[in-house]
Amino acid sequence: MLGIPEVGREVWNFLVMHKIEVTLSILITILFGVFPFFIRDWLKRIWDERRRIKEFFEVCKKAKELMPKDFGIAEYRDYYYEREEDRKIREALNEGKSILIIGRPKAGKTRAAYEAVKRLEGFKVVKFWEKLLETDKIPKAVKKGKNVLVFDDLNKFVDKVNLYEVIKQFKDISKSIVVVATCRSGKELEEVEEKFSDALRDFERVELGDVSEEEARRVANEAGIEFKSFDGTIGSLFLGLDAMRIRFEREPEECKILFRVLKLLHNAQIFSPRKSLVEEIYRRKLEKDRISASMSVESTLERLERNSFIFVLKLKKFQAIRERHESYLDFTGYSASVDDFHWLKGILVELKDAEGLFYLGNAFCYRGLFKSGIGCYDESLKLEEYAGSYNNRGIAYAKLNKYEQAIEDFSKAIELDPDFAEAYNNRGLTCAELNEHEQAIKDYDKAIELNPNYAVAYNNRGNAYAKLNKYKQAIEDYDRAIKLNPALAGAYNNRGVAYAKLNKYERAIKDYGKAIELNPDFVEAYGNRGIAYLEIHRYEEAARDLKKAGILFFHSGKEEEAVEAFSICFKLRDKIENNDIVYCGLALFLITLNLDVIIALRKMKTQDEMLRKLLELTMRKLRNEDISEEISVLEEKEKREETMLLLELLKKF
């Protein structure tokens, strides 16, 4: 019997003699025994990564592989009307600058973005869904290389995406990055500029304006299309809205009902909804209105897609529905009512759709219905805790002056997402409402630490310093806010107030003027400038601005503030006597019916014929004479806003 040493020697001799066979056996064992586990794990990681990419991005492909359907372009044609603005967009992108393309509906924003992006050599196109985006979950692999990020209709991403953080994350990893975004002009643009001011700081703005009828006819001739349905936008030529409207009117009732469902979801800020959600709401709508449908929901969707009203987007885990062009939704003549929103909320609660409830909460708040918005956030948070829901519910509570509850929600948002700069800023604002300015400053400090480009946070911290009478520090913060966002009218007005507190009225007047230049209806800036002019005895300018402030306050429903502005102006009658003083006195009397004002007015003279006529009518009205016919004549004749205000007040007198 062999001992242990002898066994060892025998094994060693065997291995030496059969080393080739042994080596092959080991390799085969590794290859077919261990290696498959690595392959399976590797393939699973790749599969999971691709699935996550589909969840986050509508498009993720090389620029040269782009197709029109990737940008959802309705009525695509090979012909493209190239403008000077297209050259500006391409030049900016080639220089590595990001672009915000602005224009009214049908101005051709999406097509312009598509034409520019597809020419970017060596870039990958990453186009985002209009849905909630948790930036820390964006797949790292997507951020590598050269990327162009696309946000079509940027206003649809408000309260869903932290644009600054998304861009920052890509910049940290990408070899090169540019952003192409589109946005409607008007209130949508104002909202985007306010919400994303930090991220949009270095963007080039390119506005696509209207085209002349002569130019439009030339384009129609070149493109081989009929000249009709033209409304000043280039898109109206190609969309053929009149023809599409007629086609829609001929659709079966089921198609029209389903399209109204899409409009309801669009109004509820649920863009590109899941097909299953559209189908469920459609069925509920039929039941609610007791309609017996002759077509199945599948057939209805197929017909709308076949007739070019919608896209059905087929994704890995679900399908989504999108209208081919937003203008088509207007064919329904329908706009969601508050009752419709509440009906939709019931369905979303039943379906346990946390994301849909979040969007609907935003839609309620957008309409100023903060209690209803809070109800949606409540239901959403029961299903899924999301920092954005707490933040938005906090904003709604603050709008209702429920500041303690607002602070609790902002704090919860911060607990869930410690890098949520907006939540720190919002908590600071709420602390300021409670006169806790030191605490507010700490929150603004943190917001700025997280986002050094946060112009609004600098402005708000400046306000907190001003409340603590630290005007020099306040001015330093306003300076930073203005440097970061030169279009921030509020920062100019606030800096003006700080300069006025330091008795630097000329500097204050200059800042108020800039605020008014940026926002011609900035009522507080007019009032502040009027007071500043008064302080340096420039009474005519003071009267002019105070009159304007009074008019704007009155039109915005702030009657008390309007009375104050008119009253300060009318007191200047001891210093000067002009038409603005008389106007403010007459407006003041017609609002307050203070007889002392009318007595003073009777002693004053005016060179303005219309003012003299209105004063005369006021006196006759005091004598109980009927002046309705004269007012009607003046309303037909006079269209100046300031005069129309006096006529409106006189009719109510």
Six-digit token string for 509: 């007047």
> What fold, for 251-336?
Arc Repressor Mutant, subunit A (1.10.10)
The percent of residues in the chain predicted with pLDDT above 90, rounded, is: 68
> What fold, for 54-239?
Rossmann fold (3.40.50)
Helix (H, G, I), strand (E, B) or coil at 356: helix
pLDDT at 37: 54
Give residue-wise pLDDT tens across range 544-593. 999 999 999 999 999 999 999 999 999 999 999 899 999 999 999 999 99
- Tell whether the model's pLDDT for residue 261 goes beyond 70: yes
Give the pLDDT band (50/70/90) at residue 154. Answer: very high
Angle between helices 19-29 and 4-17 (to 10 degrees): 90
- Rounded Cα distance, 80 and 57, in Å: 27
Give the pLDDT band (50/70/90) at residue 11. Answer: very low
In one letter, which amino acid is 105? Answer: P
- Rounded Cα distance, 180 and 100, in Å: 6
Q: What is the mean pLDDT of the chain?
A: 90
In Å, how far are 113, 485, 556, 561, 563 from 526, measured between CA atoms?
Answer: 39, 21, 14, 12, 15
Task: Evaluate whether 286 touches 279 at the Cβ level (below 8 Å).
Answer: no
Strand partners, 149: 126, 179
Six-digit token string for 379: 């239901």
pLDDT at 14: 47
- Rounded Cα distance, 598 and 186, in Å: 42
Q: Taking the CB of residue 619, how many other CB atoms lie within 10 A of it?
A: 14
- Rounded Cα distance, 510 and 475, in Å: 14
Six-digit token string for 524: 């507080």
Higher pLDDT, 470 or 326: 470
Q: For residue 276, how many C-alpha atoms fall within 13 Å in the half-sphere facing its CB? A: 8
- Rounded Cα distance, 212 and 214, in Å: 5
- Rounded Cα distance, 324 and 556, in Å: 38
Question: 1: Cβ–Cβ under 8 A, 6 or more apart, which residues?
Answer: none
- Rounded Cα distance, 415 and 409, in Å: 10
- Rounded Cα distance, 444 and 432, in Å: 11
Angle between helices 489-501 and 505-518 (to 10 degrees): 170
Region at 231 (left for phi over 0; alpha for psi -120 to 50; beta for the rest)? alpha
- Tell whether the model's pLDDT for residue 48 goes beyond 90: no
pLDDT at 443: 98
- Rounded Cα distance, 496 and 398, in Å: 27
Give residue-wise pLDDT tens across range 450-501. 999 999 999 999 999 999 999 999 999 999 999 999 999 999 999 999 999 9
- Tell whether the model's pLDDT for residue 13 goes beyond 60: no
Q: Of 227, 224, 208, 205, which Cα lies nearest the Cα of 216?
A: 227
How would you classify the pairing of strands 124-128 and 57-62?
antiparallel
> What fold, for 452-522?
1.25.40
pLDDT at 22: 54
pLDDT at 15: 43
pLDDT at 32: 58
- Match 């930073």 to its residue by tokens: 480
pLDDT at 386: 94
Q: Of 34, 37, 157, which Cα lies nearest the Cα of 100?
A: 157
Give residue-wise pLDDT tens across range 173-230. 888 999 999 999 988 998 899 889 889 988 999 999 999 999 999 998 998 888 888 8
Helix (H, G, I), strand (E, B) or coil at 202: coil
Q: Which uninterrupted H or E stretch holds 60?
A: strand 57-62
- Rounded Cα distance, 628 and 639, in Å: 17
> Among 59-63, 448-452, 510-514, which is the least confidently predicted range?
59-63
- Quote the pTM value: 0.84
Six-digit token string for 352: 């346990």
- Tell whether the model's pLDDT for residue 607 goes beyond 90: no
- Match 């200047």 to its residue by tokens: 572
- Rounded Cα distance, 25 and 523, in Å: 86
- Rounded Cα distance, 503 and 508, in Å: 9
Q: Residue 400 has what DSSP assignment?
A: T
Give the pLDDT band (50/70/90) at residue 74. Answer: confident
- H-type helices in 174-293, by residue range? 187-195, 213-223, 234-239, 241-249, 253-267, 275-288
Q: Of 184, 25, 193, which Cα lies nearest the Cα of 103?
A: 184
Sign of the Cα torsion 581, 582, 587, 591 reads positive
Give residue-wise pLDDT tens across range 369-385. 999 999 999 999 999 99
Six-digit token string for 23: 């080596």
Q: Taking the CB of residue 257, how many other CB atoms lie within 10 A of it?
A: 18
The full set of domain ranges for the chain reads 4-51, 54-239, 251-336, 452-522, 537-653
